[in-house]
A and B are shown apart, each in its own frame.
Chain A
Amino acid sequence: MKRIISLLLSLLMVLALFTACTPANNNGDANGEPDEVVEPGEEDADVIKIGVFEPLTGMNGGGGLQELGGIEYANKMYPEVLGKKIELVVVDNKSDKGEATTAVTRLIEKDKVVAIIGSYGSAVSIAAGDIIRDAQVPTVAPSATNPMVTQGNDFYFRACFLDPFQGEVMATYAIEQGAKTAAVIMQNGDDYSVGLANFFINAFKKLTGEEASIVDVSEFQLNEADFNAILTNIKAKNPDVIFAPSAATTAPLIIKQARDLGIESLIMGGDTWENPAVIDVAGEDAEGIVLSTFFDENDPATNEAVAFVEGYKAELAGKEPIIPAVAALGYDAYILVRDAIERAGSTDGVAIRDALKETKDFEGVTGIINFTEEGDADKNVAVIKSVQDGQFVFIDSVEVK
């Protein structure tokens, strides 16, 4: 008996792998609304699949889930295209590059998605880039800000601004506040952190015209918790600002330890800091930190945004106090893709890609969107937020030409 079971099991496994190539097999991952029962043979004709690859666990798990929320809400608002239902196929890339490549291959080959949305972070997007280009599946990254994501990749687009821009915004803002010196802390091992930190350093040096205006550059490692030593070194150099782009997991540790050491400098971060976890963990010490982000719910730029803020706010009630910017970008990425499919009039990868390229003055939640040659959303305004009374509040928007 045991033997037969194990034989059957192994047979099943082989079968499972091989049936993976037939598109009709999809009962295991029906991802639509729970109340919807998909009829096996028919679904192909009625459903257009869009893949979503986001980090749902791992270092960026928190941000990935926020972004997914926006994408799913958009799917709820605009459930159809070309008269067919849009089905989201969600895979977890675990914030891991190896996992990301497999996850994307799975979306393309097994689930036969016509387009992909993702990912939250740059590292996994870059890793998956080659596969996406070779398979000619148009992809829109909601919040991957590193330039390499879309560089030389005709099929990769993005809905957000880029790190060189963000670095310049933060440097400009710091200098507007009267800062003359800055210290930078980055995570050695994270493309986003290292990239953004370097763009900030370059911009700050250029704007102040002083090589010595960056008084300290420190690195820390994956899963590091103790920043006292780094911060004590920085304290001795007394910079006007500390710029520490990092994941939402480490940000509060840096902020709190800096304040515990009696550092009074302005502490700044990047878009990842707009995460309730930062305030939750750092508590009072989070007051006064400054970060740049993509979107402000109190200043909706378009009609789409007005509707989005109202609707999604109700959806989030009781869960999150404010709409995370990445949710807005996730929403935009979805409606961009949907709009392109609509205009392309087909689900062919190249046709959708061409339609995406031709996107003109598209009304998104995060503003009017056009794509540059590289496929980046052409945005020149960033929102600066701070934390007051345990809330993220809008303080300024910075424009860079």
Chain B
Amino acid sequence: MTSELLLQQLANGISLGSLYALLAIGYTMVYGILRLINFAHGDIFMMAAYFMVFSIVTFRLPWYIAIVVVIIVTIALGVLLEKTAYKPLRNAPRMSIMISAIGASFLLENLATYLFTGVPRGFPDIRILTTTVELGSLSLTVATLITPFVTLILLYVVLFITNKTKIGMAMRAVSKDFETAKLMGININQVISTTFVIGSALAAVGAILWGSRYPSVMPLMGVMPGLKCFIAAVLGGIGNATGAVLGGFILGMAEIMLITFLPSLTGYRDAMAFVILIVVLLVKPTGLLGEKVTDKV
């Protein structure tokens, strides 16, 4: 094991981890408010990648405008999802809402297969992000390099919103106690919509960075990242944005390290995320940074 190799793998791990983190924040926020695993979150992420392809390849927008457009359209899709698939079921049993989430995810995947076919689309090459930088013996693209910073900045923004703004306060209140918050006159619908806005926006940013690193856009690209990011959110302590980021980093790093140190076990890469999930649920269900809430587990 040379130090070069280790250094490169560390960079790989941090970069992958920060992508997981971006998606994990979306999961953790929705779960915090609605107590719902938004199974469709990974598919929102997938759709965002397609939006990027279309806005640059089909509509020939410059990349900086395309990014704004994609974030807006993705937010619209996220809010639409909430209004159609989750809102009508607000008073339904938990199981119905979850089935609806699974159904929405399934629908988005099938719709994408139908509309865009299973043939992968190339993610547009944004020069600024895909240029390779040599740092000593390390070889990294700009996207790889900036992803952790983008993630940390966005985490800061999310924390600012939840801690320092009025709507953020309302979100925390709803997260603590849905019924009481409602009685106190908090506009639940607005809070929930805001949550989906933030989550979807982060998914869009995640999709753009993901696409620059892994430029193959296809209908099922969101399935595994989606599940893993939910696991990252659980690992960090569900409902806690900082925890989600931490969980994302740990999960990304763990995957890369498994391959680095135990290359014969690469086949078990995806299984490891689930093993981590189950261990966390059994040993410390509140996750690393989660608060103890009796009703969760």
Chain B contacts for A95, CB-based, 8 A: 118
B221 touching A281 by the CB < 8 A rule?
A: no
A302 to chain B, nearest CB (A): 30
A257 touching B214 by the CB < 8 A rule?
A: yes
Chain A contacts for B256, CB-based, 8 A: 228-229
A381 at the interface (CB under 8 A from B): no
Complex-state Cα separation, A216 to B8, whole angstroms: 18
CB-CB contacts below 8 Å: A252-290 with B: 252-253, 256-257, 260-262, 277, 280-283
B122 touching A281 by the CB < 8 A rule?
A: yes
B100 at the interface (CB under 8 A from A): no
Chain B contacts for A224, CB-based, 8 A: 224, 269-270
Q: Kindly identify which residue among A62, A226, A233, A236 contacts B119, using a CB–CB cutoff of 8 Å.
A: A62
Q: Kindly identify which residue among A58, A253, A261 contacts B118, using a CB–CB cutoff of 8 Å.
A: A58
Complex-state Cα separation, A226 to B259, whole angstroms: 12
Per-residue CB proximity of B120-152 to A under 8 Å, as 1/0? Answer: 111101000010101000011100100000000
B192 to chain A, nearest CB (A): 30
A185 to chain B, nearest CB (A): 10
Closest to B223 in A: A223
A119 at the interface (CB under 8 A from B): no
A221 at the interface (CB under 8 A from B): yes
A189 to chain B, nearest CB (A): 9
Closest to B270 in A: A221
A8 at the interface (CB under 8 A from B): no
A228 touching B12 by the CB < 8 A rule?
A: yes
Complex-state Cα separation, A281 to B256, whole angstroms: 24
Q: Kindly identify which residue among B12, B121, B214, B267 contacts A229, using a CB–CB cutoff of 8 Å.
A: B12
A280 touching B113 by the CB < 8 A rule?
A: no
B215 at the interface (CB under 8 A from A): yes
* Contact-residue bracket for chain A: 35 or more
A62 touching B118 by the CB < 8 A rule?
A: yes
Complex-state Cα separation, A223 to B223, whole angstroms: 8
A281 touching B120 by the CB < 8 A rule?
A: yes
Complex-state Cα separation, A95 to B118, whole angstroms: 10
A262 touching B139 by the CB < 8 A rule?
A: yes
CB-CB contacts below 8 Å: A95-131 with B: 95
Chain B contacts for A62, CB-based, 8 A: 117-120
Given that A226-B214, A249-B216, A252-B216 are contacting pairs, would A236 and B122 also be in contact in the complex, using a CB cutoff of 8 Å? no
B132 touching A262 by the CB < 8 A rule?
A: yes
Complex-state Cα separation, A225 to B119, whole angstroms: 15
A94 to chain B, nearest CB (A): 9
Chain A contacts for B215, CB-based, 8 A: 252-253, 256, 281-283
Complex-state Cα separation, A229 to B220, whole angstroms: 22
Number of B interface residues in the complex (CB < 8 A): 45
B5 touching A233 by the CB < 8 A rule?
A: yes
A47 at the interface (CB under 8 A from B): no
A283 touching B122 by the CB < 8 A rule?
A: yes
Complex-state Cα separation, A20 to B140, whole angstroms: 59
A248 at the interface (CB under 8 A from B): yes
Complex-state Cα separation, A51 to B125, whole angstroms: 41
B260 touching A232 by the CB < 8 A rule?
A: yes
Per-residue CB proximity of B201-221 to A under 8 Å, as 1/0? Answer: 000000000100111101011
B2 at the interface (CB under 8 A from A): yes
Closest to A60 in B: B118
B87 to chain A, nearest CB (A): 27
B162 at the interface (CB under 8 A from A): no
B263 at the interface (CB under 8 A from A): yes
Q: Kindly identify which residue among B9, B13, B216 contacts A225, using a CB–CB cutoff of 8 Å.
A: B216
Per-residue CB proximity of A34-59 to B under 8 Å, as 1/0? Answer: 00000000000000000000000111
B269 touching A221 by the CB < 8 A rule?
A: yes
B109 to chain A, nearest CB (A): 11
A230 touching B120 by the CB < 8 A rule?
A: no
A219 touching B267 by the CB < 8 A rule?
A: yes
B119 to chain A, nearest CB (A): 4
Complex-state Cα separation, A281 to B2, whole angstroms: 32
B215 to chain A, nearest CB (A): 6
A253 touching B12 by the CB < 8 A rule?
A: no
B266 at the interface (CB under 8 A from A): yes
A236 touching B259 by the CB < 8 A rule?
A: no
B220 touching A223 by the CB < 8 A rule?
A: yes
Q: Kindly identify which residue among A223, A260, A281, A283 contacts B121, using a CB–CB cutoff of 8 Å.
A: A281
A225 touching B221 by the CB < 8 A rule?
A: yes
Complex-state Cα separation, A262 to B120, whole angstroms: 24
A219 touching B119 by the CB < 8 A rule?
A: no
Given that A65-B117, A261-B8, A281-B122 are contacting pairs, would A225 and B255 also be in contact in the complex, using a CB cutoff of 8 Å? no
Complex-state Cα separation, A281 to B223, whole angstroms: 20
CB-CB contacts below 8 Å: B87-126 with A: 113, 117-123, 125
Q: Kindly identify which residue among A216, A236, A253 contacts B216, using a CB–CB cutoff of 8 Å.
A: A253
A232 touching B9 by the CB < 8 A rule?
A: yes
B16 at the interface (CB under 8 A from A): yes
What are 6 A-B interface contacts by the 8 Å CB criterion?
A58-B118, A221-B269, A225-B216, A226-B16, A229-B255, A280-B121
Contacts A232-B9, A252-B216, A257-B214 supplied; 9 other A-B pairs, CB < 8 Å: A226-B214, A229-B255, A232-B8, A233-B259, A236-B5, A248-B119, A277-B120, A280-B122, A282-B122
3 closest residue pairs by CB, A with B: A61-B118, A262-B139, A62-B119
